[in-house]
Homo-oligomer: A and B are copies of this chain.
């Protein structure tokens, strides 16, 4: 790799800093090893982007900046003012992140001014008339024990200039944006607007999507919990399927663009016979299509369990859908609700084929999103939140705090926002899923 190229590759992983860090951290950590005290993170610590190589290959030096508490920070805790906003839909762990941010800021950095904006970016728009609330340890005392978000959320974006006006009006130094792709795009825009206005405001994102489709991070919080609950739904579908002659249990799981929840829940349950995700095309009709395979499964085993990710709606050919499940159904459920479409298509097929069957459909989505974080997510949320605070106090901006190869990192917002992580059908992960289900390719064309 030429030096220039290498430079540009490295640049895309570099995180913007508001300025030099001159203020000693109030955290009182250690700078020596072996003293049984945790240490500050040095500024030049990095985490490699690529961890897989071929034998003999030279590893790429591309790397993310390591997250962690710095010995010197950018903002003076005595005067720092912080805002937090949660956007999008519910996700297990939101309250854990909120609480740990407040505890780290208040107990450790001694920051006293923390505002929680209500209902997502709407909370930055005075027109909605919901003033922010003051957050301190008492306000967040028990929130981590419950699902939901104590601040509330909303979808959709607001005008960037107006939002930065609000930041200025409140005199904020740091804004933490907890949300998914749209939210991080908003955070990026806010960050650029602040830069253009010459405002030294740190904008730090915490990626939040129960779908786990954020690139450049190992996983997003809430995902483990979602899979726990999704597994329960599948267990139920399995009992329903086995409980009747030719029982078919269908569970729709979240995943608009990526089938991570469907794949993981399938692996966790071991009860699934067909796992349908947006990344892997399948056909309904034909000798090797889903309907024929399902029929054969019923003939040989008497029951079947199907997991379908919501994003599979795109697999349904428009004409097929109107044929199988009628425009009415699509209108009633919304054009993108694949669950009832699949249920009706299967029921209709079995009816036509005179297979006396019983099709049961479960949509556990809101029960999954709204639960409290399991232990694994609680730990992850706690750490994410504290690393985000370290990043903000050290003047990083236009960045998210993520985890990569199990290390916490700073990842530029620009790198994350243009892309989605997806299940790789060539990967060992998808192999595991197909081994757990025993499902064939579900397409009529021979493999390339």
Q: Chain A residues in contact with chain B, CB under 8 A?
A: 29-30, 32-39, 41-42, 44-48, 51-61, 63, 66, 68-69, 90, 99, 103-104, 107-108, 118-119, 122, 128, 130, 142, 144-149, 152-154, 218, 224, 227-228, 230-233, 235-240, 242-245, 249, 264-265, 267-270, 280-281, 326, 328-329, 331-333, 340, 344, 360-364, 366-367, 369-371, 374-376, 378-379, 382-383, 386, 405-408, 425-428, 430-432, 434-436, 438, 441, 443, 447-448
Contact A243 B153 (CB under 8 A): yes
Chain B residues within 8 Å of A244, by CB? 119, 152-154
Chain B residues within 8 Å of A90, by CB? 239-240, 243
A243-B149, A375-B265 known; A237-B366 Cβ under 8 A: yes
In whole Å, how far is A160's beta carbon from the nearest beta carbon of chain B? 21
Q: In the assembly, what is the distance between CA of A152 and CA of B242, in Å?
A: 7
Q: In the assembly, what is the distance between CA of A48 and CA of B108, in Å?
A: 35
Q: Which of B36, B44, B448 contacts A34 (CB 8 A)?
A: B448
In whole Å, how far is A434's beta carbon from the nearest beta carbon of chain B? 6
Contact A360 B366 (CB under 8 A): yes
Q: In the assembly, what is the distance between CA of A441 and CA of B38, in Å?
A: 11
14 contacts between A and B (CB under 8 A): A35-B447, A36-B426, A46-B57, A103-B435, A119-B244, A152-B244, A228-B376, A237-B366, A264-B379, A267-B382, A268-B375, A270-B378, A364-B367, A374-B374
Contact A428 B41 (CB under 8 A): yes
Contact A37 B425 (CB under 8 A): yes
Contact A45 B54 (CB under 8 A): yes
Q: In the assembly, what is the distance between CA of A140 and CA of B306, in Å?
A: 22
Contact A370 B235 (CB under 8 A): yes
Contact A375 B227 (CB under 8 A): yes
Copy tally for this chain in the complex stands at: 4
Contact B376 A37 (CB under 8 A): no
Contact A245 B376 (CB under 8 A): no
Q: Which of B38, B45, B52 contacts A46 (CB 8 A)?
A: B52
Chain B residues within 8 Å of A428, by CB? 38, 41, 68-69, 383, 408
Chain B residues within 8 Å of A362, by CB? 366-367
Contact B374 A233 (CB under 8 A): no
Contact B240 A38 (CB under 8 A): no
Q: Which of B37, B54, B103 contacts A447 (CB 8 A)?
A: B37
Contact A239 B147 (CB under 8 A): yes
Contact B441 A36 (CB under 8 A): yes
Chain B residues within 8 Å of A232, by CB? 367
A38-B426, A425-B36, A426-B30 known; A240-B369 Cβ under 8 A: yes
In whole Å, how far is A369's beta carbon from the nearest beta carbon of chain B? 7
Contact B104 A268 (CB under 8 A): no
Chain B residue nearest to A367 (CB atoms) is: B236
Chain B residues within 8 Å of A146, by CB? 142, 145, 239
Contact A405 B408 (CB under 8 A): no
